[in-house]
Amino acid sequence: MKIHSYRSSNVNPYQKQMDASKQMKVEVQKDRVEISKQAKQLQQTSGFDLQRQEKVQAVKKEIESGTYKIAPDLIAKSMIQFYKKKNEE
């Protein structure tokens, strides 16, 4: 008795799966990002940012040279205000 394979040798049993995956790859769209006008305006450097950077640089120079003065009374007042607001919430 001779047994023959029921499939011909030139038929790929996974061909349908491969075709389906090719179609899926074609249908996939790339993501897009759109930035609104308001977001673009927020990204631009404002005058406030420049002033703040100058102030930070000045404080850094004072700290490095040892001439920076600490005001303990202002720090204490600020801490008290912070914790009063926190307790009210």
Distance CA 36, CA 47 (A): 21
What is the sign of the dihedral through the CA atoms of 61, 66, 67 and 69?
positive
What is the per-residue pLDDT across 7-18, written as a single tens digit (0 to 9) for each? 555 666 677 777
Question: Residue ranges of the domains in the chain?
Answer: 47-88
Look at residue 87 and tell me whether its pLDDT is greater than 90.
Answer: no
What is the per-residue pLDDT across 58-70, written as a single tens digit (0 to 9) for each? 999 999 999 999 9
What is the per-residue pLDDT across 23-35, written as a single tens digit (0 to 9) for each? 666 555 788 889 8
SS3 label, residue 4: coil
> What's residue 66's pLDDT?
93
Q: Enter the pTM of the model.
A: 0.38
Rounded to a whole number, what is the distance in angstroms from the first to the last CA of the chain? 90
